[in-house]
Amino acid sequence: MEHNKELVKAVYHNAEMSKDIIGRMIKICDDPSLRAALAEEFAQYHEITCESKGICDEKGYFVKPKKQGKAAIFSGMAINTMINKSTPHLAEMMVQGSTMGVIDMKRALREYPGAEENVRTLAEKLMHTEQNNIKSMLEFV
């Protein structure tokens, strides 16, 4: 089913992008408590990436990390953090990214209503993870 394939790929790409961004953010961050919170988030996204990849493998869907758009995001991150790498600013950047993730997952869930329940549940898990991470990062703003 095409809805299944597209939704699980959306979950994979969203979680993979989040992992890449957090990995870079951890290297930039000087605040040990923010770094610890980011490491926790990284683990959550890694778990979701593995779950979505497992579904893809099981169903025979070919999925690979997206390269399209990453350069622009990473360039924007580099410029933003050169200007200001304070803890509140980094946390704000993370809130903005997670907010985009929530919107992307909400949109994907609406676009692919025919996806199987386990795929929809995984997409909702990612959306809830993003929402919880927003709350976590707001403590650092």
Listed by start position, the domains of the chain span 2-138
pLDDT, tens only, 82-140: 789 899 999 999 999 999 999 999 999 999 999 999 999 999 999 999 999 999 999 99
User: DSSP state, 30?
Assistant: -
- For residue 69, is it left (φ>0), alpha (ψ between -120 and 50) or beta? left
The pLDDT confidence band at residue 1, using thresholds 50, 70 and 90, is: low
What is the rounded distance in angstroms from the CA atom of residue 64 to the CA atom of residue 12?
Answer: 9
CATH class of 2-138: mainly alpha
DSSP state of 51: H
- Read off the pLDDT of residues 33-42 as tens digits, 9 standing for 90 and up: 999 999 999 9
Q: Distance between terminal CA atoms of the chain?
A: 42
| pTM of the predicted structure, to 2 decimals | 0.90
